[in-house]
Amino acid sequence: MALTSYIFRTVWTDWQLLSLGLAFSLPTLAILLSHELGHYIACRRHDLRSTYPYFIPAPLLIGTFGAFIRIRAPIRNRRELLDIGAAGPIAGFVALLPFLFYGVAQSEPVSILEVDWDLPGGLLLLKPGTSLLMAGATFLFHGALPSNTVLNLHPFALAAWVGTFVTALNLIPIGQLDGGHIFYAALGRWQRTTSWWLVGLLALMGFLWPGWWVWSAVLMIMGPRHPPVLTSHQGLDRRRRGVALLTLLIFVLTFMPMPLDLLPILP
């Protein structure tokens, strides 16, 4: 308790530490809020009652488990489902881009020396994973980094990394994730047919990053198959098929097979 009190007093009385934290937390909250506002505005456009966005506080990691809205009316058809499901990831993706590019441009390449896990005195570096989007931005501003070099992320870039991870996670085409909504809206019964195969594929990816085992278990508990809408016979028009393809592109750009990695390094 005394250590917690000391840390609390130190952070809130040291402007340098406080500004560093705000430079990460405020963009992170802005990106997450933009995602949920996309869903909210789409609900309003279709005259569906929903709550305002709520943030879920968390005592660990980034300080929040994300945000959500609750839709208080049944979704009537696949077009509404597509609009609502896609609006959040697209809005969040657009919101994170300026933070990503500015943050990566301000980040500093740092050389590290990896060592054996059993070396006494070594440190563990928690390294954020790299998506195609992050890799492209890094190459744009810093060129090809040597194999023993990592990017010391600016707080804006770290906030954008959180945004890319949340966006990709929501776009996994399973169950009632945003990707599940979009997949069902675009392909109907094919989502229900392939849902268990997709959960199995996600579980196999757990050998790359154990966190995928947790998410595959959560999705199995939630139910990987998407429930039907009130009227499912109406397909998507050409514009909405384009929106579905756009979300697929966003998923490819933001997905990280290994979101986090631990590297043993010399101090």
The residue extents of the domains of the chain are 2-265
Q: Average pLDDT of 39-61?
A: 87
What are the tens digits of pLDDT across the range 78-122? Answer: 999 999 999 999 999 999 999 999 999 999 998 887 766 666 666
**CA distances to 18, 94, 113, 201 from 205, in Å:** 37, 28, 27, 6
Q: Average pLDDT of 40-47?
A: 94
What are the tens digits of pLDDT across the range 177-215? Answer: 999 999 999 988 777 778 889 999 999 999 999 999 999
- In one-letter notation, the amino acid at residue 32 is L
Q: Which residues of 150-162 are buried (b: 16+ CB within 10 A; e: fewer)?
A: bbebbbbbbbbbb
End-to-end CA distance of the chain: 29
pLDDT band with cut points at 50, 70 and 90 for residue 266: low
Q: pTM for this structure?
A: 0.90
What are the tens digits of pLDDT across the range 4-20? Answer: 677 677 777 778 888 88
